[in-house]
Amino acid sequence: MKKLLASTALIFVGLTGAAQAEGKLSIYHWFEYIPQELLDKFSQEYDVEVTMDTFDSNEALLASLKAGKLGSYDVAVPGDYMVKIMKDEGMLDTFAPSDLSNFNNIEEKWLDVGFDPGRGSSIPYQWGSTSFAVNKDVYSGKPDSLALIFDPPAELKGKINVLDTAGETLTLASLYLGIPQCTSDREQLKELNALVQKAKADWASFGSDVAKDVLVSGDAAAGMIWSGFSAKARQEGANIEYVFPKEGMIVWMDNVVLLKDAPNRENALKFMNFLLEPENAAAVTNYAQYSAGVKGVQEFLAPEVANSPESNPPADVKAEFVQACTEDVQVLYDAVWTNLKK
């Protein structure tokens, strides 16, 4: 009976608590990408009840919104090319810079970006790079080329993990071959197809969410990985080096977007403004170990994060954003990918 009373009381408190809160905020976010303390801080500061669902790829985010979830979330965190796709699909709402008092905290170079000119629907969340890391105990040479993944030396053969997404893996392969993204040139596509077919024999596994774990456990001696994940793997004891290949790497930025039909538009804008506060942006960076794209974060960063080799690429490294291909070209890349995994 006591238990019953207690739980009834709890439900009551829960209900009234929800009623008393200023409102709600529903976030659709990547897995393992925001510290819970930061959500709690926002929740307390603005008296907003925050709920969050997670996804594991840009495409999964798009699929879920297309399947009818649009209208149930306020903000989401798509990568650069996906912002453009969602904008083109009419899934994003717009705001004026004056709606966010911290709008001017955005670093100049991230203000007028190709995927959202003038930042009408998005703000920077974090940016980083996609390349690969190699275990220094296994490979003793100076790693500087994507050849370690696509044409590996004997000691790495059969010990390579690649990301399980067509976009990232085929883009890195294209960089290695020096062919443009979204090409419809038959010879170049055949070359790309032949390269990954041949390289696959030397790969141990395809995996994105396990990219860090396989390097830490030693299942893989080299693996494609995102810069922050590589830094985390190092801290978890993997003796690895994150490589800035001479052929180039992928640079990306994840962005907080205001979704169309957001049920709590006002709170969404408050949340975006909150994330542009240098202290809060730094909290995300300290957790995820990428870079913020917000001015004034430096003083709040943990030294090992600010100085990590992953976040400080050499000035001359070539870096490309992943491009969103047109439909007739995307079909070709999908065919190469299916052909690779058949």
Interface contacts to another protein, rule CB under 8 A: 57, 59-60, 62-63, 66-67, 85, 89, 161, 164-167, 186, 189-190, 193, 200, 203-207, 210, 217-219, 327, 330-339, 341-342
Query: Cβ atoms within 10 A of the Cβ of 300, count?
Result: 17
Least Å distance between CB 174 and another protein? 14
Least Å distance between CB 120 and another protein? 21
The residue among 91 and 100 lying less far from another protein, judged by its C-beta, is 91
Least Å distance between CB 206 and another protein? 4
The Cα 116–Cα 256 span in angstroms is 12
Least Å distance between CB 115 and another protein? 15
Cβ atoms of residues 148 and 134 within 8 Å: yes
The residue among 123 and 238 lying less far from another protein, judged by its C-beta, is 238
Angle at 310 between CA 307 and CA 312, to 5 degrees: 55
The residue among 25 and 162 lying less far from another protein, judged by its C-beta, is 162
Least Å distance between CB 341 and another protein? 5
Least Å distance between CB 50 and another protein? 25
The Cα 271–Cα 11 span in angstroms is 27
The Cα 231–Cα 212 span in angstroms is 9
Dihedral angle sign, alpha carbons of residues 99, 285, 92, 122: positive
The first and second tokens of residue 45, run together, are: 């500061």
The residue among 189 and 253 lying less far from another protein, judged by its C-beta, is 189
Least Å distance between CB 70 and another protein? 11
Phi, psi of 317 (to 5 degrees): -70, 140
The Cα 293–Cα 279 span in angstroms is 13
Per the DSSP assignment, residues forming a β-bridge with 240 are: 135
The residue among 42 and 55 lying less far from another protein, judged by its C-beta, is 55
The residue among 231 and 324 lying less far from another protein, judged by its C-beta, is 324
Structure-token match 């067509």, residue found: 166
The residue among 111 and 210 lying less far from another protein, judged by its C-beta, is 210
Least Å distance between CB 290 and another protein? 23
The residue among 170 and 272 lying less far from another protein, judged by its C-beta, is 170
Contacts 24+ apart (CB under 8 A), 321-324: 321/80, 321/81, 321/114, 321/115, 321/250, 321/251, 321/252, 322/79, 322/80, 322/81, 322/167, 322/168, 322/171, 322/181, 322/250, 322/252, 323/81, 323/181, 323/182, 324/81, 324/82, 324/84, 324/85, 324/182
The residue among 10 and 60 lying less far from another protein, judged by its C-beta, is 60
Least Å distance between CB 151 and another protein? 18
Structure-token match 């790497």, residue found: 249
Per the DSSP assignment, residues forming a β-bridge with 241 are: 134
Q: Which helix or strand (DSSP H or E) is residue 305 part of? A: helix 303-306
